[in-house]
Amino acid sequence: MPALLDSASPVSASGEGTRPPSGGRVPRLGLRRTQGPRRVPWLWIVPGLLVAVAIQFYPVISGSYYAFTRWSGVGPSHWVGLHNFSLIFSDPQALGSLEHTIELGFAFVVIANVLGLALAVGLGRALKTRNFIRALFFAPVVLTPLATSYIWAYIFQYTGPLNGFLSALGLQSVEQAWLGSPTWALWTILVVLVWQNTGLSMVIYLAGLQAIPAELDEAAAVDGASSWYRFRRVTLPMLLPAILINLTLTMVYALRVFDQILALTNGGPFGASDTLATEVWKQTFVNNNYGYGAALALLLTVLVLIIAGAQFGFVAWFNRRSAR
Amino acid sequence: MSHFRYTPRTFLRECSMVLIGLIWLIPFFLLINISLKPGGFEVYGSPFQLPSKPAFGNYSTAWQGSAVGSLGHGFVSSAIITFISVFFLIVIGSLTAYTIIRRGGRGSRILIVLFTFGLVLPVQLGTIPLYAEMHELGLIGTYSGMILLYVGLLMPVTVFLYAGFLRSLPPDYEEAARVDGASPLRIFFRVVFPLLRPATGTVAILCGLIIWNDFFTPLIFLGGSSHATLPVVIYGLVAGLGTEWNIIFAAVAISIAPLIIFFIFAQRQLIRGYTGGIKA
């Protein structure tokens, strides 16, 4: 059963924190205790907490500070307040990368979810080839994004197979250097993202579908409901938890995408496929504008947190409602 | 069970799925086909035609890699970093999650929120201070530095996965061992840790793949060192080769071959790892 409902289930509600009365405090007649405190010592969280704070939380807080400074990486940094942010909102390059991030994010979320759900429903129990085709769709999920992106870089070359296919169809007028086109470069990255990650959405939807009791669907069918009606009124509502997980996963994934862009277009031509993630990298590690890069990174982080927060809030609301 | 029968409509559905599946297969076919072409015109002229004579030499050329390192070096670096990081993530992560869940109370809730927060933070914002921190400690370009990075960056995911599993694990066995007088550490390693095996499998698969496939972190923290991981070696190789697609494809094929083999033999566990991880 998918996830989001789990925290509302009785097992987990009682599992956290509570313990049976028979803990270490039950007096054991005449026996001396031979060891120290019997509860799990808080001390055990120290290594995990320490490494997470040192590697993740402290640098993020410190990075947020640099977003309000001018700093070249060496020497002292200068506090400039919101200056970096006003620079971002007057810099067409940075605004472009923000716009591309949002465009790519929404397009990927819609396509990966619609296609992923269609594949999960389409590859239902009746198909003879279902196991093989499911495996085929899922395989790219585990492969190195950087390495597989080069296959697509070749496909999109001017002399590559995509143009060859178009010319075989008599569509020579559409042929072009896809990666070098300001209009198309961003969408070549979308194609790679869809190919690589739709399989993950598909298996999450498959798991969600399998959790729906077949009797429910059959009962509706016996009552004479059409298959489209059953999908809308029975399947979709039951899939809500899986849909929510997928929406968040795909959105967060698309917002952070970096490897594929570096392999395919390197953000080009002239920044036409730059996103916040690549722009942060260029400003900090190529141009040494640390303060400005940190401000861009903070913007990206806020974007991700808003979307993840909205999802968590919705899940909490959903669980409260279904717990009633 | 009427809608599970194989009807003409099911056949149509099967055909359309096979058709979409073929599109998904094209990159794999091109990868193998082009990687065996002798180069020159054959690479561009007829991408779908089989090579006149398979040029296996492409693979040995690709194996030598570039100035960044050979593919063999990349494999060794990737394997060392991945396996040791996953080992520490499992040991430290399970211990942390166990303490948080079994102690309970307000402290636990705060920690759960903290680790959940870490789940979604993009790496970019912390990268610069982290680089300074690692530089100070002399850990740039070292295995131990990379391992430390991954253990820290993936600790939230690991704790999250273990905590989800532990919530539904009744503490009965632990209580029994406690009554028998076992120490907390002994209880954890002898009783609890073996029961966590499904979660450990998920952690190993998810974190292992994330680390093995990562490009951004080693690009920044291992760039220019002799410990470049496989993705960084491939990136350097392609930068040097330009458009020798047959060699590039041979290198890509070599680099993803272990993942393909892993996928073929452990497909079920892999899919369970992903969906199970999300359930938690």
Query: pLDDT tens for residues B153-204?
Result: 999 999 999 998 898 888 888 888 888 888 888 899 999 999 999 899 989 9
CB atoms within 10 A of CB B258: 14
Residues facing A79 on adjacent strands: A69
Residue A75 and residue B48: Cα distance in Å, rounded? 56
Decide: A152 and A195 in contact? Cβ < 8 Å. Answer: yes
Residues facing A78 on adjacent strands: A70
Q: Classify strands A69-70 and A78-79 as parallel, antiparallel or unpaired.
A: antiparallel
Judgement on whether residues B99 and B147 belong to the same structural domain of the protein: yes
For A317, residues 6+ apart whose C-beta sits below 8 A from its C-beta are none
- Coil vs helix vs strand at B122: coil
Where is A291: in which H helix or E strand? helix A290-323
Angle, in degrees to the nearest 10, between helices A92-122 and A290-323: 30
Judgement on whether residues B70 and B48 belong to the same structural domain of the protein: no
A142 touches chain B (CB under 8 A): yes
Q: How far is A143 from chain B (nearest CA, A)?
A: 6
Judgement on whether residues B119 and B55 belong to the same structural domain of the protein: no
A161: preceding bond cis by omega (within 30 degrees): no
CB–CB contact A300 B122 (8 Å) = yes
Closest to A268 measured CA to CA, from A161, A152, A188, A158: A188
Q: What tokens were used for A117?
A: 């759900």
For A280, residues 6+ apart whose C-beta sits below 8 A from its C-beta are A293, A296, A297, A300, B124
Q: What is the pLDDT of residue A160?
A: 85
Asked whether residue B256 is domain-assigned, the answer is no
Asked whether residue B280 is domain-assigned, the answer is no
Decide: A147 and A165 in contact? Cβ < 8 Å. Answer: no
Q: What is the per-residue pLDDT across B225-253, written as a single tens digit (0 to 9) for each? A: 889 999 999 999 988 887 788 899 999 99
Q: What is the largest CA-CA distance in chain B?
A: 76
Judgement on whether residues B216 and B230 belong to the same structural domain of the protein: yes
Q: What is the pLDDT of residue A139?
A: 93
In the listed set B36, B62, B88, which residue is the last one of a domain according to the structure? B62
Decide: B246 and B35 in contact? Cβ < 8 Å. Answer: yes
Decide: B132 and B221 in contact? Cβ < 8 Å. Answer: no
Q: What is the pLDDT of residue A320?
A: 79
- Coil vs helix vs strand at B121: coil
Give the single-character DSSP code of B225.
S
Rg (CA), chain A: 26
Q: What is the pLDDT of residue A39?
A: 77
Contacts of A155 in chain B (CB under 8 A): 26-27, 30
Closest to A307 measured CA to CA, from A258, A257, A244, A259: A244
Asked whether residue B106 is domain-assigned, the answer is yes
Contacts of A64 in chain B (CB under 8 A): 125
Q: What is the per-residue pLDDT across A193-204, written as a single tens digit (0 to 9) for each? A: 999 999 999 999
Residue A122 and residue A115: Cα distance in Å, rounded? 10
Asked whether residue B253 is domain-assigned, the answer is no
Give the single-character DSSP code of A78.
E
* Chain B residue with Cα closest to A294: B125
Asked whether residue B194 is domain-assigned, the answer is yes
In the listed set B62, B78, B96, which residue is the last one of a domain according to the structure? B62
Q: Please state the φ and ψ torsions of residue B214, each to the nearest 5 degrees.
A: -65, 140
Cβ-nearest to B234 among A19, A55, A147: A147
What is the interface pTM, i.e. ipTM, of the complex?
A: 0.88
Q: What is the pLDDT of residue B41?
A: 67
Judgement on whether residues B72 and B58 belong to the same structural domain of the protein: no
Q: What tokens were used for A48?
A: 């995990």
Decide: B27 and A148 in contact? Cβ < 8 Å. Answer: yes
pTM score above 0.90: no
- Coil vs helix vs strand at A319: helix
Q: What is the pLDDT of residue A118?
A: 93
In the listed set B44, B62, B80, which residue is the last one of a domain according to the structure? B62
Closest to A286 measured CA to CA, from B219, B141, B37, B209: B219
**Number of domains observed in the structure of chain B:** 2
Judgement on whether residues B79 and B113 belong to the same structural domain of the protein: yes
Degrees (nearest 5) of the Cα angle A306, A310, A316? 145
Q: Select from A127, A154, A206, A282 the residue whose CB has the most chain B CBs within 10 Å, as the one to mutate to test that interface.
A: A154
Decide: B177 and B195 in contact? Cβ < 8 Å. Answer: no
Where is A298: in which H helix or E strand? helix A290-323
- Residue B132, domain extent: 66-241
Cβ-nearest to A17 among B105, B270, B279: B105
Residues 36-55 of A with CB under 8 A from B: 36-42, 44-45, 47-49, 51-52, 54-55
Degrees (nearest 5) of the Cα angle A148, A153, A154? 100
User: Which sign, positive or negative, has the C-alpha torsion B259, B261, B267, B273?
Assistant: negative
- Coil vs helix vs strand at B74: helix
Q: What tokens were used for A68?
A: 């309000």
| Mean pLDDT split into 10-residue runs, chain A, 324 residues | 33 36 42 51 92 93 90 81 90 91 94 95 82 91 93 89 87 86 92 95 91 82 83 84 86 88 87 89 86 90 87 79 70
Judgement on whether residues B31 and B147 belong to the same structural domain of the protein: no
User: Which sign, positive or negative, has the C-alpha torsion B122, B124, B129, B135?
Assistant: positive
Closest to A315 measured CA to CA, from A241, A210, A249, A209: A241
CB–CB contact B152 A298 (8 Å) = no
- Coil vs helix vs strand at A212: coil
Q: What is the pLDDT of residue A99?
A: 93
The CATH number assigned to the domain holding B73 equals: 1.10.3720.10
CB–CB contact A144 B128 (8 Å) = no
For chain A, the distance separating the N- and C-terminal CA atoms, rounded to the nearest angstrom, is: 19
Judgement on whether residues B50 and B9 belong to the same structural domain of the protein: yes
Residue B196 and residue B211: Cα distance in Å, rounded? 22
CB–CB contact B98 A308 (8 Å) = no
Q: How far is B263 from chain A (nearest CA, A)?
A: 7
**B104 conformational bin, left if phi > 0, alpha if psi -120 to 50, beta if neither:** left
Residues in chain B where the model's pLDDT stays below 50: 1-2, 280
CATH architecture of the domain formed by A69-147+186-323? Orthogonal Bundle (1.10)
CB–CB contact B274 A137 (8 Å) = no
**A270 conformational bin, left if phi > 0, alpha if psi -120 to 50, beta if neither:** left
Burial of A147 (0-12, 13-18, 19+ CB in 10 A): buried
Decide: A105 and A251 in contact? Cβ < 8 Å. Answer: yes
CB–CB contact B126 A277 (8 Å) = no
Residue A120 and residue A114: Cα distance in Å, rounded? 10
* Chain B residue with Cα closest to A9: B168
Q: What tokens were used for B205?
A: 């698969």
Asked whether residue B157 is domain-assigned, the answer is yes
Judgement on whether residues B54 and B187 belong to the same structural domain of the protein: no
Judgement on whether residues B138 and B222 belong to the same structural domain of the protein: yes
Residue A46 and residue A59: Cα distance in Å, rounded? 18
Judgement on whether residues B149 and B226 belong to the same structural domain of the protein: yes
Please, what's the b/e burial string for B81-119 (b: 16 or more CB within 10 A of its CB; e: otherwise)?
bbebbbebbbebbbbbbbbbbbbeeeebeebbebbebbe
Residue B253 and residue A154: Cα distance in Å, rounded? 14
| Long-range CB pairs of A73-80, under 8 A, 24+ apart, other chains included | A73/A288, A73/A290, A73/B128, A77/A290, A77/A291, A80/A291
Judgement on whether residues B23 and B135 belong to the same structural domain of the protein: no
Q: How far is CA B102 from the centre of its chain?
A: 29
Degrees (nearest 5) of the Cα angle A288, A291, A293? 65
CB–CB contact B130 A55 (8 Å) = yes
* Chain A residue with Cα closest to B233: A147
